[in-house]
Chain A
């Protein structure tokens, strides 16, 4: 059985606001399935005495002190924005689907 269905891929694409064509869905579902099946093989060798790992480095408690560090200017912050107005990022209408 496939590790991920075509419907699940379509759902994820929609959540990520990616425009994926019907044909691409077939391709991606196949590719993602291969990746997930490969990763799943790790489960075959993982014994109960091996805890799941979320980070590859054995570090904890990497913190910084509460000290201000200079950031970007308004101009610098907006320089990569597709659109800006009054010092703010301008984005398309948010509730588009409901209009």
Chain B
């Protein structure tokens, strides 16, 4: 393949109109799997959370997990979907060793939830993303490819399979195609996945961690030349493992497709893989066969017919939508729209909320998360929630500041230790000897030394030139290596010299 010069993004959106679509998979946080009682905890020894049902052994009969069905209906309701009065599971047949049954139990033409929407805010503007369907299926096993150069499937001589994950309930949420977002398409994609994550987290049905794979996203992208009405051929980009990557993947795919369309090359409907390091997408398997899953209703599972009263009960018990919740927080925290937007953009809403719950003031919590910690997360290109400090630690840090044990400069040093995993703020303050010198005996001695060493300045202060005290404060801060509270030092100097502050 020849190297193509990629057009600038502004140029791409001037000449093409993107249509995007998102398919998101969410692993539910149930205690047991979808169709059997095997545990779902992450990180167990391989093939120790399996049984005849999830291994697909002959004669084993699956029984659906009520908690997973309830969670799926709640997700559907939170996304403004209609809930099916009657629907079935279906077998999706395919030949691949990640499912020992040779099929995945999924839903086909009768999903549990259909026709919803999710409103997302992009640059202060509301975009309604239509939801096509929300259905329930099961996760697959994990394959480890050996014999190849880099653990990749290509060139591998054999594969090793762990079925602990096989059968864990998985919810698939599919949007309708989203046209008309123009240059904002990558931002809309990111805002949608962010909002969806917040909604699902508010329902407490999954930990929705993209970096751990409990939330995975496939991004569909196509381009239509400006002025034309027929949509272009779409590609599906997989391996998009962070919110930031969702945005980058759409952008990269738009640019790539434009570079091909510009020279009259056709876009192939194909699966592409996002490359985290380079930020571009690469073609998946070269000879992917046309899919022929031969879906049919799962004969081992009887139909589901969610009771209308049950659905109504679940709907009535839904938590406040994250968007409305944020509105209320904004009022409580007394923030302007713009300030709240920076909190949202930094991914700090829940972190600040939790920090306040742990005892900090709104201003204190916001200061640390949007200041020092946001800066670090940005520099390292990671989510704020994974920066290394917890809300409880930030609240403790702010408490130490409020108690006068740390000043701003020392607090920053302590926070550095927290992020480095050295312990709690109090532990680090003690271990590193960072506490503000508040022992008045030691401080008074330092003040007396400073007065003795600067008789001229002391005389000025005695004469009423209180502003001159600054020079002595500086001297004391120097001898205490910044570990004194400047305000206390000033008061002490004035009282030693018999002057009213």
Which A residues form the contact surface with B (CB < 8 A)? 11-12, 15-17, 54-55, 57, 59-74, 77-78, 80, 85-95, 97-98
Query: How far, in whole Å, are A87 and B302 apart by their CA atoms in the complex?
Result: 34
- Chain B contributes a number of interface residues (CB within 8 A of A) equal to 60
Query: How far, in whole Å, are A59 and B64 apart by their CA atoms in the complex?
Result: 14
Contact residues, B29-57 vs A (CB, 8 A): 30-32, 36-39, 45-52, 54-55, 57
Contacts of A64 in B (CB 8 A): 37, 63-66
Contacts of B51 in A (CB 8 A): 69, 71-72
Contacts of B69 in A (CB 8 A): 63
Contacts of B157 in A (CB 8 A): 93
**B97 pairs with A89, CB closer than 8 A:** yes
- A-B contact list, 11 entries, CB within 8 Å: A15-B292, A16-B95, A54-B297, A55-B299, A64-B63, A71-B36, A77-B50, A80-B57, A85-B160, A87-B46, A88-B161
Shortest distance in angstroms between B407's beta carbon and chain A's nearest beta carbon? 50
Which 3 pairs, one residue from A and one from B, show the smallest C-beta to C-beta distance? A69-B37, A71-B51, A88-B160
Does B362 belong to the interface (CB within 8 Å)?
A: no
**A17 pairs with B95, CB closer than 8 A:** yes
Contacts of A54 in B (CB 8 A): 88, 297, 299, 303
**B93 pairs with A74, CB closer than 8 A:** no
* From B48, B158, B302, contact of A62 by CB (8 A): B302
Query: How far, in whole Å, are A64 and B37 apart by their CA atoms in the complex?
Result: 9
Shortest distance in angstroms between A73's beta carbon and chain B's nearest beta carbon? 7
Query: How far, in whole Å, are A60 and B84 apart by their CA atoms in the complex?
Result: 13
Does B86 belong to the interface (CB within 8 Å)?
A: yes
Interface of A is mostly: loop
Shortest distance in angstroms between A86's beta carbon and chain B's nearest beta carbon? 6
**A74 pairs with B36, CB closer than 8 A:** no
Contacts A55-B303, A66-B67 known; list 12 others, CB within 8 Å. A15-B292, A57-B302, A64-B64, A66-B31, A68-B39, A72-B51, A77-B47, A78-B47, A87-B47, A89-B47, A94-B156, A98-B287
Query: How far, in whole Å, are A93 and B294 apart by their CA atoms in the complex?
Result: 24
Shortest distance in angstroms between B56's beta carbon and chain A's nearest beta carbon? 11
Query: How far, in whole Å, are A11 and B289 apart by their CA atoms in the complex?
Result: 12
Query: How far, in whole Å, are A77 and B356 apart by their CA atoms in the complex?
Result: 48
Closest to A56 in B: B299
Contacts of A60 in B (CB 8 A): 86, 302-305
**A94 pairs with B37, CB closer than 8 A:** no
Shortest distance in angstroms between B252's beta carbon and chain A's nearest beta carbon? 25
Shortest distance in angstroms between A67's beta carbon and chain B's nearest beta carbon? 6
Does B163 belong to the interface (CB within 8 Å)?
A: yes
Contacts of A12 in B (CB 8 A): 294
Closest to A55 in B: B302
* A69, A80, A92: most-surrounded residue (chain B CB, <10 A): A69
Does B15 belong to the interface (CB within 8 Å)?
A: no
**A89 pairs with B96, CB closer than 8 A:** no
Contact residues, B349-399 vs A (CB, 8 A): none
Query: How far, in whole Å, are A21 and B287 apart by their CA atoms in the complex?
Result: 25
Contact residues, B63-87 vs A (CB, 8 A): 63-69, 86
Closest to B52 in A: A72
Query: How far, in whole Å, are A34 and B237 apart by their CA atoms in the complex?
Result: 44
Query: How far, in whole Å, are A95 and B39 apart by their CA atoms in the complex?
Result: 31
Contacts of B57 in A (CB 8 A): 80
**B299 pairs with A77, CB closer than 8 A:** no
Query: How far, in whole Å, are A70 and B51 apart by their CA atoms in the complex?
Result: 8
**B158 pairs with A90, CB closer than 8 A:** yes
**A69 pairs with B36, CB closer than 8 A:** yes
Shortest distance in angstroms between A69's beta carbon and chain B's nearest beta carbon? 3
Query: How far, in whole Å, are A72 and B161 apart by their CA atoms in the complex?
Result: 16
Does B154 belong to the interface (CB within 8 Å)?
A: yes
**A95 pairs with B154, CB closer than 8 A:** yes
Closest to A87 in B: B46
Contacts of B163 in A (CB 8 A): 77, 89
Shortest distance in angstroms between B101's beta carbon and chain A's nearest beta carbon? 13
Shortest distance in angstroms between A65's beta carbon and chain B's nearest beta carbon? 6
Query: How far, in whole Å, are A36 and B376 apart by their CA atoms in the complex?
Result: 66
Contacts of B304 in A (CB 8 A): 60-61
Contacts of B198 in A (CB 8 A): none
